[in-house]
Amino acid sequence: MANRKSVTLVDVAKYAGVSIATVSRYLNGVRVRPELAVKVAEAVEKFDYRLNPAARLIKGQKSETIGVILPELDHPYFATLLEGAAEQAREFGQSILVGSCHGKHEVEEQTIDQFAHNILDGLIYTPVAKSVNLIEIEAFRELPVVIAARDKSVYPELPHVYQDTHGGGYLSTKYLLSLGHRKIAFFASFWEPGFTEMGMLDILKTPGTGVYSSLNRFSGYLEALQEFGISYDPKLVIKCSYGFEDGKSAAKELLSRMIEFDSIVTASDYVACGVIDTLEAQGISVPNDVSVMGYGNLELGKIIKPQLSTIHQNMFELGKQSVRSLHDVIHEKDTEDILLDVELIVRDSTSKKEI
Partner DNA sequence: CTGTTAGCGCTTTCAA
Partner DNA sequence: TTGAAAGCGCTAACAG
Count of other CB atoms within 10 angstroms of residue 2? 11
Of 237, 252, 292, nearest to 269 by C-alpha is 292
Q: What's the CA gap between 12 and 45, in Å, rounded?
A: 9
Give the interface segment with a copy of itself, choosing from 111-119, 127-135, 166-174, 181-189 (CB under 8 A).
111-119
Residue 301: CB minimum distance to a copy of itself, A: 10
Helix axes of 20-27 and 34-47: crossing angle, nearest 10 degrees: 90
Of 42 and 227, CB closest to DNA: 42
The DSSP code for 291 is: E
Site for DNA in 35-54 (CB under 7 A): 35-36, 51-52
**Of residues 78, 94, 97, 242, the one with CA closest to residue 148:** 78
Minimum distance between the CB of residue 271 and a copy of itself, rounded to whole angstroms? 11
Q: Which is nearer to DNA, 58 or 134 (CB)?
A: 58
Q: Which residues contact 263 (CB under 8 A, 6 or more apart)?
A: 176, 179, 181, 183, 184, 185, 290, 291, 292, 293, 350, 353
CB of 31 or CB of 117, closer to a copy of itself: 117
Where are the alpha helices (H) located in 117-243, listed in sequence order? 139-142, 165-178, 200-205, 213-227
| Residue among 48, 106, 192, 202 that touches a copy of itself (CB under 8 A) | 48
Q: Which does 91 bind (CB under 5 to 8 A by kind): DNA, a copy of itself, none?
A: none
User: Which H helix or E strand runs over 263?
Assistant: strand 263-265
**Type of residue numbered 242:** Y
Q: DSSP 3-state helix, strand, coil percentages of the chain (rounded to 5)?
A: 45, 15, 40
Q: Which value, to the nearest 10 degrees, does the dihedral of the CA atoms of residues 106, 112, 118, 123 take? A: 150
Which residues 4-23 are close enough to bind a copy of itself by CB under 8 A? 4-5
96 phi and psi angles, rounded to 5 deg: -120, 125
Instruction: Report DSSP state, residue 323.
Output: H
Per-residue exposure over 206-220, b if at least 16 CB sit within 10 Å of its own CB, e if not:
eeeebbbbbbbbbbb
Segment near DNA (CB under 7 A); pick from 58-66, 200-208, 278-286, 328-336 = 58-66
- Residue 100 contact among DNA, a copy of itself, none, beta carbon within 5 to 8 Å by kind: a copy of itself
Nearer to a copy of itself, 19 or 61 (CB): 61
Give Cα 132 to chain centroid, integer Å: 18
- Interface region with a copy of itself, contact rule CB under 8 A, candidates 51-59, 144-152, 202-210, 214-222: 51-59
Q: Please report, as a single letter, which amino acid is at residue 96.
A: I
Least distance in angstroms from the C-beta of 344 to DNA? 51
Binding mask 8-27 for DNA (x = CB under 7 A): xxx-------xxxxx-xx-x
Q: Which of 20, 37, 41, 73 binds a copy of itself (CB under 8 A)?
A: 73
Which of 115, 155, 187, 191 binds a copy of itself (CB under 8 A)? It is 115
Within 180-209, the residues that bind a copy of itself by CB under 8 A are none
Q: Which does 333 bind (CB under 5 to 8 A by kind): a copy of itself, DNA, none?
A: none
Q: Does the footprint of a copy of itself cover residue 282 (CB under 8 A)?
A: no
Size of the site for DNA (CB under 7 A): 26
In this structure, how many other beta carbons lie within 10 angstroms of the beta carbon of residue 353? 17
- List residues binding DNA (CB under 7 A): 6, 8-10, 18-22, 24-25, 27-28, 31-33, 35-36, 51-52, 55-56, 58-61
- Contact residues for a copy of itself, defined by CB under 8 A: 4-5, 48, 50, 52-55, 57-58, 65, 72-76, 79-80, 82-83, 86-87, 90, 93, 95-100, 102, 107, 110-111, 114-119, 138, 142, 244, 270, 273, 277, 299-300, 302-305, 316
